[in-house]
Amino acid sequence: MADFPDMGVSRRGILAGGAASATVAVIPAPVQAQPSPAAPPPMMAVDFIVNGERQQLKLDTRTTLLDALREHLKLTGTKKGCDHGQCGACTVMVNGTRINSCLSLALQHQGDEITTIEGLGMPDNLHPMQAAFIAHDGYQCGYCTPGQICSAVAVLKEIEQGVPSHVQADITRAPDYSNIEMRERMSGNLCRCGAYSNIAEAMAQVAGAKA
């Protein structure tokens, strides 16, 4: 029997309808995700000399020197190893001084002269250090070799200039081209293949010293 005969509905029907209405009222409408447009990265121009050629680039300010060389100038001889400055595979020379290019922003090198493995020598005109690495099998897989060679060239220059090292008993005296001296200075360049002895022999040959 209807509770409200004039309206044709029962009490139970009214209660059920009210509960359903309340449920609908508390369910929030689905929120449509609105993709926010990504802000373009800040860009800046940099102008430097790479392997004797002037290069002008406009780069994301976060670009490392390593990525500028490999990704923008296509100089892929410089290798990306750990990308944390621990393996030395990315070693290049900046104004004659070796650095880990993965730890340096490209924009820091405005006006600098940068030398990569391609700038030292090419297969038809090898640098003496490159030739010595070949002669002494100073590599196996070869991945670390460009960094090893750039570092080795800079190491001999450091010794020549009298830059002291941790293995010198007397830092007031000029360092020599000893095996331990060169090994200490090359300790930042890792070789997973373990070609260290051959690398030392290659360096000694170029230095005119005994490995």
pLDDT in tens, 167-178: 998 989 999 999
Looking at the structure, tell me whether residues 103 and 132 fall in a common domain.
Answer: no
Q: What's the pLDDT at 35?
A: 80
- Residue 1 belongs to a domain: no
Which position has the token pair 């001084």? 97
Residue type, 104: S
Write out the H or E segment, with its range, that includes residue 19: helix 11-26
Q: Are residues 95 and 155 in the same domain?
A: no
Mean pLDDT of 1-9: 55
Same domain, 131 and 107: no
CA neighbor of 156 nearest in space, from 106, 200, 101: 200
The domain boundary, picked from 120, 135, 169, lies at: 120
pLDDT above 80 for 29: no
pLDDT of residue 32: 79
Judged against a pLDDT cut of 50, whether residue 101 lies above it is answered with yes
Q: What is the mean pLDDT of residues 51-77?
A: 98
Structural domain containing residue 182: 124-210
Angle at 39 between CA 35 and CA 45, to 5 degrees: 155
35-39, 70-74, 93-97, 173-177: least confident range? 35-39
Residue type for 146, please? P
In which band, very low, low, confident or very high, does the pLDDT at 1 lie, cut at 50, 70 and 90?
Answer: very low
Averaged confidence pLDDT in the chain: 90
Q: In the prediction, which pLDDT does 23 show?
A: 54
**What's the pLDDT at 28?**
65
Give CA–CA dist 24/90, Å, rounded. Answer: 62
Answer yes or no: are the C-beta atoms of 182 and 201 closer than 8 Å.
Answer: no
Q: Do residue 111 and residue 46 come from a single domain?
A: yes
Residues 86 and 100 in one domain: yes
Residue 199 within a domain = yes
Q: Could you tell me if 130 and 194 lie in one domain? A: yes
